[in-house]
Structure 1
Amino acid sequence: MDQKEAFEKAVAVSKTLQTKPDNETLLRLYSLYKQATEGDINIAPPGMFDFVAKAKYDAWLKLSGLGTADAMQQYINLVAQLSRKID
């Protein structure tokens, strides 16, 4: 299985986790997914009172410069830790 297939499998598995991850882990999953699929952040910052959007924006911004392949692998590794089901 190549990395893209493993990433797609990890995305599918992440949607069926038996236990919902904590907010910090959810932000990590979100930011790694965005970095893997879209690259460096490409949206305007949200308003200062939109706390959820701000947290997501900041998490993604921290990954600026991380390559697509590295972001995919980190996502795969994180989902594997959460599920123990990724090959």
Structure 2
Amino acid sequence: MTQAQFDAAVEYVRSLPKDGPVQLSNAVRLEFYALFKQVTEGPVTGSQPWSVQFEARAKWDARHALADMSKEEAMQKYVARLVEVTRESGQPWNPPQ
């Protein structure tokens, strides 16, 4: 897995139109968010948000679950998950070689 492949995957996810053929559920979007943050910032820091702060708490929990994952593993999982999701939608995306 190269940085260029990860960057291409991130750009693809960011460019997906809301009404396009590849529809990402909120759970999948949260998964991509957590993996992206693990690659770019490392493990989550700071205290856990209050449970009434739904979005902030969900993001923190998703990132906290990846605390022991390496940057390289997070990059691999991000790209692999994108390949899986796009194949399921019938619009396969493959990382550049």
TM-score, reference length from structure 2: 0.79
Question: Partner of 2:73 in structure 1?
Answer: 70
Q: Structure 1 residue runs of 4+, over 4 Å off?
A: none
Q: CA RMSD for the aligned pairs?
A: 1.4
Unaligned runs of 5+ in 2: 87-91
Q: Distance in 1 between matches of 2:68 and 2:47?
A: 17
Question: Partner of 1:85 in structure 2?
Answer: 93
Which structure 2 residues correspond to residues 6-25 of structure 1 after superposition, within 5 A? 6-17=5-16, 18=20, 19-25=22-28
Structure showing greater radius of gyration is 2
1:46 deviates by 2.0
State the Cα deviation string for residues 12-47 of structure 1 (Å, max 9, x = none).
Answer: 000123333111111110110011111111233223
Count of aligned pairs:
86
State the one-letter code of the partner of 2:5.
Answer: A
Unaligned runs of 5+ in 1: none
Question: Partner of 2:89 in structure 1?
Answer: none
TM-score, reference length from structure 1: 0.88
